[in-house]
Structure 1
Amino acid sequence: MGFQIESQISSCGGKLLKLQHESETTGTSMNVNIYLPQQYYKEDGAKIPALYYLSGLSCTPQNASEKAFWQPQADKFGFAVVFPDTSPRGADVPDDPENGWDFGLSAGFYVDATQSPYDKNYKMFSYVHDELPNKLDQFFKSTGSESGSTLDFLDNVAITGHSMGGFGAISGYLKQYASPRKYKSCSAFAPIANPSLVPWGKKAFGNYLGLESAQWEKYDPANLVKNISNKGNDVILIHQGTNDPFYKEQLKPHLLIEAAKGTSWEGKINLNLVDGFDHSYYFISSFVPQHAEFHAKNLGLI
């Protein structure tokens, strides 16, 4: 089954599409928002690359669509933005037995769960990096564009994210690094940089992946940088606010810098500590222009 277009909203020079589809990977209905920039609607046959934005704990596709202000930057450079959901949802999808907001619904952590009862639905790594891009590619090829423009959801793509989504972006980027369809670039806003060592990560990894550290290391960026070779001059861009209440206990971006020392990623992780900024969308939207330009360069748009 393809996508159902729930609504099309004019935004800046393009349109935000709110889509829904049935996922074989999660076994649930999934929502995803996509911003199609103004270039998509011009009759010049443009090829539009895609940026995947992974949201953080408690978010839906709506949050970043409304608050991050990616649309003006997408129009400026000519890329689409894909906003996946943060977890499977539904009455039969298991949630946090402790009724917390940092695990379960809205907190899928972009891993493929192996532990019952979460292993049935919580397959967010496979969903984000495999099923969703392939289904988007098929859907938009089948619908076509009156302008002659095409959307590239598979090959000329980049990835970014915030908090839990920042972890998901860096983890997915590194795990896909050697694949034929690797992301052209990766950035993150206040990512959970070493989840194996912080409360949010320990809770999520323990419940989704079990208690064996080897299973955690498969997703932890601080481990992946030690085992995946940088093939050139690829750089990961990170911004982190110094007034972020989660900075020192949950996020710890300096641990990723430490882990990269002595590896091919040393000096290739650009951590920008920005004074006075917190963890909110005020922080994210302030630095979206820098991240958009970074990705646009890597996507060949500049």
Structure 2
Amino acid sequence: MLKRCEITSRSLGNTQTIFAAYLPDTSEYKKLPVVYWLSGLTCTDENFSQKAGAFQAACDHQVVLVMPDTSPRGDGVPDEEPHTYDFGVGAGFYLNATTDKYKTHYNMYDFIVKELPACVEANFPVSAKRSISGHSMGGHGALTIAMKNPDRYTSVSAFAPICNPTKVPWGEKAFKFYLGEDQQSWKQYDATELIADYKGKDLHILCDCGTADSFLVGDVNQLQPLAFMEAAQKAKVPVTFRSDACDVMRRDAT
């Protein structure tokens, strides 16, 4: 069963936001593990539910899927003019903004880590066993959120994630507007920077990136998965890296 829920979010400046939850069929009442899915640039809560074909897997494995929106929306939510796809509405980057223009509404980090799970756990039959996953901008969010909160998640999976946003145009543009000019403050939302100093439990990190991805093979590599893997290897943090050009590689902490 797929449900779409509208709530008033304190984290997002008391705006109305929609999230979707898929509850698999079950023959008995029990609390199920939950996977939080974070979508990418321009997406809403509907993209994954309509395109991923994940509901059968959720039934097979008896997990609940929760799919939030990618940014605050509505009257009074600021943006840049002219609007572009890679910033603002539809592009919240799963961080807490600190600049005056954006700090009231753009707190997707707090929404995903605190407010949304509290709402889900109060209203759906889910356990405290959580995993987090995402694609592109959402992969960036999944990796950074999991590594900053390892006690909250059992695993993290990221598909074509933006792995090193402080070094690529997407991240440089968004972080400047959301976080200001102090580039040192940007590092707290950069998976490559975080894994270099990661000391938490094994999150069973999966990073999956196709070699024909247009944002990987173009003039500018917006994704930077190899920078992430190099940092993980140096830090001896176990990560499974998967691409269509090689077999699965397990980087063990040895």
1:32 aligns with 2:25: no
Amino acid of the structure 2 residue aligned with 1:215: S
**CA distances 1:115-171 after superposition (whole Å, capped 9, x unpaired):** 12111100000001100110122233xxxxxxxxx322xx20100000000000000
* Structure 2 counterpart of 1:106: 90
Q: What is the DSSP-based 3-state SS (H/G/I as helix, E as strand, rest coil) of the residue aligned with 2:37?
A: strand
In structure 2, C-alpha distance between the alignment counterparts of 1:226 and 1:203, rounded to whole Å: 23
Amino acid of the structure 2 residue aligned with 1:90: G
1:60 aligns with 2:33: no
In structure 2, C-alpha distance between the alignment counterparts of 1:184 and 1:191, rounded to whole Å: 19
* Structure 2 counterpart of 1:257: 229
Amino acid of the structure 1 residue aligned with 2:4: K
Q: 1:19 deviation in Å? A: 0.7
Unaligned runs of 5+ residues in structure 2 are 249-254
Q: 1:240 deviation in Å? A: 0.7
* Structure 1 counterpart of 2:212: 243
Identity score, percent:
39
1:172 aligns with 2:150: no
Contact 1:229 1:264 survives alignment (8 Å): no
1:137 aligns with 2:121: yes
Describe how 1:82-121 pairs up with structure 2 within 5 A: 82-121=66-105
Q: Which 4+ runs in 1 deviate beyond 6 A? A: none
TM-score of the pair, normalised by structure 2 = 0.92
In structure 2, C-alpha distance between the alignment counterparts of 1:97 and 1:188, rounded to whole Å: 31
In structure 2, C-alpha distance between the alignment counterparts of 1:98 and 1:59, rounded to whole Å: 19
Q: 1:213 deviation in Å? A: 1.9
Contact 2:120 2:126 survives alignment (8 Å): no
TM-score of the pair, normalised by structure 1 = 0.77
Q: What is the DSSP-based 3-state SS (H/G/I as helix, E as strand, rest coil) of the residue aligned with 2:162?
A: coil
**CA distances 1:83-108 after superposition (whole Å, capped 9, x unpaired):** 00000001211113242100000000
In structure 1, C-alpha distance between the alignment counterparts of 2:163 and 2:79, rounded to whole Å: 24
Q: 1:235 deviation in Å? A: 2.3
Contact 1:218 1:224 survives alignment (8 Å): yes
Contact 2:42 2:90 survives alignment (8 Å): yes
Q: 1:230 deviation in Å? A: 4.0
In structure 2, C-alpha distance between the alignment counterparts of 1:52 and 1:235, rounded to whole Å: 15
Q: What is the DSSP-based 3-state SS (H/G/I as helix, E as strand, rest coil) of the residue aligned with 1:158?
A: strand
Unaligned runs of 5+ residues in structure 1 are 1-14, 141-149, 276-289, 291-302
Q: How many residues were matched structurally?
A: 242
Contact 2:147 2:200 survives alignment (8 Å): no
**CA distances 1:157-208 after superposition (whole Å, capped 9, x unpaired):** 100000000000000000001x4xx200000110000000000000111110
In structure 2, C-alpha distance between the alignment counterparts of 1:202 and 1:131, rounded to whole Å: 27
Q: 1:225 deviation in Å? A: 0.8
